Structures are given as structure tokens and as C-alpha cells.
Chains A and B, each alone.
Chain A
Amino acid sequence: MTLTLDDLSTRWPATARIVNAVTSIWPEHARYAGKSFAARDAAMMQTTETLAEAALVLTGEHLLRYAEHYRWTCDQLREEELFFHREGRYRLSTFAEADAEVYSDAGYMEKYMDGLLISQILWVNHAASCHFFLTETSPFLAPDQRYLEIGPGHGLMMYLALRDFDLASATAWGLSAVSIDQTRAALAKLGYDNCDFAVQNVMDARAGSKPYGLVVLSEVLEHLEDPKSVMAPIRDLVARDGHVFINVPINSPSPDHLYLMETPDDARALLIDTGFEILREGFFATQGTALERALRNRVSVSACMLARPV
């Protein structure tokens, strides 16, 4: 049965609150939202609702501000989308450019991160990626695993892992003190204040005596100029019987996306070329578009892959 926006408030109240906040300041977005939720089954809606409940904890009393920032973020993305389809490439190609335009601009970053938080609920490809992470990863995890997430952003993926996986410990690495402090604060708000956080560049990391059972990079690698050079040292961080989960977008222009992947094989190569075997994969296109059609029309696709070192 197709889910409509009217169904949301009775069955999925947290999701409905977020949708209502967005459509109250952006009524034209109701059509997009309706199509996005119509593409989800009940199991994915349960994951969506979990994400929405967490997002509401993070937004607190400022939900409308987040909704406004979501609209602002969509405006930025539309500009990038226009450039991408006109020129056939992402607008920026170096980390220095992204740092100058995005990362070093605190005001821009606040709005952008707020907008991306709301997108985790409203965009079916984002919610589907979280759903894949929850459902496809856990069967491969032995109990009592050490978890490492690199570039945890809002901390939502880490929250899902802490909530649903049997973990011995959870560690988050970020490139800046500001971003890692934001993740720490978010997870504390969500009830998890027993994680380890560090400002750590993966390229400088050493495996040490205790590798990790699950290493997660969700929407991180596309922000790098040469993501394969990062995946190689990550292989040394993963236990011999451990796993890595990555989530990367294909044909997905964004203000700070640098590394363009145009096909599922481009995404798979990040793992296959760096010493991993892919065990599970899922490709989720914007608005539930069929994959073949999405690739033909260069519509954004989220690629989720669970792999083990070989």
C-alpha cells in the first residue's frame, strides 16, 4: 500500500513533525516529500521514524530553523545540480577549494549541516542507506565488536550502531575539533556519552594491537580528492575477520563533493582496488527512481557496500 503524507501523522509521528515543519515554510516541497515517502515500505519507514526521533532530539525547539536551513541547502544543491548537468563534472575538485568555500565558513556550515540532518529523513536514498546499514550489516557482526566511524557528521549512523549492534566500544574520528565536538554533543543528547572521540587523520593512523571489527565511512569518501589513498590504510585498521561499511554517492553534485563516481563500478572500485571483497551492496536512487534509469539520466544514487579485507 502506498504511504501518503496524511498517513504519516497517525503512524509515524516524529517523521510527520519534520515533514510538517518543512512544508509549513516550503509548501511546494510537499509533492517531493509525498513521492519520497510513497517509495518506502513499512520496514524502511520504521528506520525513518527512528532517524526522525533522533533528529527531533537534536533539533530541540529549533525545528523550524532546521527546516529553513534544509530549504537553503536544497537551493545550494540545485545550483550544483545545474552546474553538474551543464558541465558533466563537480564544480570543485580540490580540498583547498572546498575548505575555502564551505568548511572554513562557520555560518555556511551550520546551515548546510542542519539541512543535511533533515535530508536523512526526507530523502529516500538517505533513509534507505541507513536502513541498509541496520539490516545488512548486523548479520555479519560477531558480538562485542569494536566500532570505528570516520567522519561521523551528525552521528546518526553511529547512533544506529550503538542502539542496535552489540558493540564493545565505539570510536569516532574527525579531521577537525569542531566537527568531532559536534558529534560528541549530538551523541550525548541521544544518550550515548561513553564513546571515544579523536581528531585523527586516517593517513596518520596506525593499526596498533587492537584493530576494529567494523569501520564505517558514511558519505565521507566523495569529499576527498583521492579516496582510494585513504581506503588503503583503512584496510590495516580492520580486523582480519572484521568488516568495513561505506556509503558513497554516484552522480551527486554538492558544494563540497570532489570525487565523482559515475557508475556502481566506480563505487565498487573504492573497495575492490584497495584489498576488500564486497559482501553486500545496495544502490538507492533519489526519489526511488529505478537504478538503470537513474544512471542513464545521471540522477543521484547512494551506494552502500559492506566488505571484508582479503
Chain B
Amino acid sequence: MMRTMDRASIYESLNEIFADVLDLDDVDLTDNITANDIEEWDSLSHIRLVVSIEREYSFKFSNAEIEALTSVGDLVDHILAKAA
């Protein structure tokens, strides 16, 4: 079955991934949220977030993309672009 790929559905799965990887109870992500807003989102957990997203959407980020992903909005934009 074709997977629905819009910002709302991506946010739904990112909320689950962030909660799981960062061990958070309640996650409600928005475009402007960055690592500075979530204490558990540091350079090391960033790698685990990226790999979890790669698994969820079956693609790989390049190293340059991983460096450039600084906000949730960036993540969503890249997922949409990669999945297009």
C-alpha cells in the first residue's frame, strides 16, 4: 500500500521516533523546534534520531545533510524531498 507522505503524517511518525529515541513521554514537535529546545537532543542522540528516521522511511541521509539538520522543520523538509 502506498504510504501517505504529507507534513502531518511525517510529524506523527517523528513524534513517535523522538519519544522512543530520546525516552520522552510526550512529544509535540513543530517546525521551529531545535536541539536547543529539547535537552535530550544532543550531538549523540542526533545520530540515533537520524538512523531511526532512515529506518522508518527507507533512505539514507548524507553526512552533509546530517550536519545541516538543525530543526524539526529541516527534518520534515528533507524527508519530503527524499521521499518525493
Question: Which residues of A line the B interface, CB within 8 A?
Answer: 31-32, 35, 74, 78-79, 81-82, 85-86, 286-287, 293, 296-299
Contacts and interface: CB of A to CB of B under 8 A. Distances in A.
Contact of B47 (A31, A78, A293, A296): A78
Nearest to B49: A85
A299 B66 contact: no
B54 A286 contact: no
Nearest to B22: A297
B12 to A, nearest CB: 21
Contacts of A82: 47, 50-51, 63, 66
B42 A86 contact: no
Contact of B23 (A31, A32, A293): A293
6 contacts: A31-B36, A32-B42, A78-B47, A85-B48, A86-B60, A297-B23
Contacts of B42: 31-32, 35, 287
B43 interface: yes
A296 B47 CA distance: 15
Contacts of A86: 51, 54, 60
A73 to B, nearest CB: 13
Contacts of B35: 31
A78 B23 CA distance: 21
Contact of A297 (B21, B50, B54): B21
**5 shortest interchain CB distances as A-B pairs:** A85-B51, A81-B47, A293-B23, A82-B47, A86-B51
B44 interface: yes
Interface of B: 21, 23, 35-36, 39, 42-45, 47-48, 50-51, 54, 60, 63, 66
Residue among B35, B36, B42, B44 facing the most chain A CB atoms (10 A cut-off): B44
A297 B44 CA distance: 11
A286 B23 CA distance: 15
A82 B47 CA distance: 6
Given A31-B42, A81-B44, A286-B44, 8 more contacts: A81-B47, A82-B63, A86-B51, A86-B54, A86-B60, A287-B42, A293-B23, A297-B48
Nearest to A79: B63
Nearest to A81: B47
Nearest to B46: A78
Given A293-B23, A297-B21, A297-B23, A78 B51 contact: no
Given A293-B23, A297-B21, A78 B50 contact: no
A29 to B, nearest CB: 8
A78 B39 CA distance: 19
A287 B39 CA distance: 12
A122 to B, nearest CB: 13
Nearest to B66: A82
A82 B46 CA distance: 10
Nearest to B50: A82
A31 B40 CA distance: 11
A287 B43 CA distance: 11
Contacts of B39: 35
A80 to B, nearest CB: 10
Contacts of B21: 297
Contacts of A81: 44, 47
Residue among A81, A82, A297, A298 facing the most chain B CB atoms (10 A cut-off): A82
A78 B54 CA distance: 16
A293 B54 CA distance: 22
Contact of A78 (B36, B43, B45): B43
A3 to B, nearest CB: 16
A293 B40 CA distance: 12
A59 B63 CA distance: 31
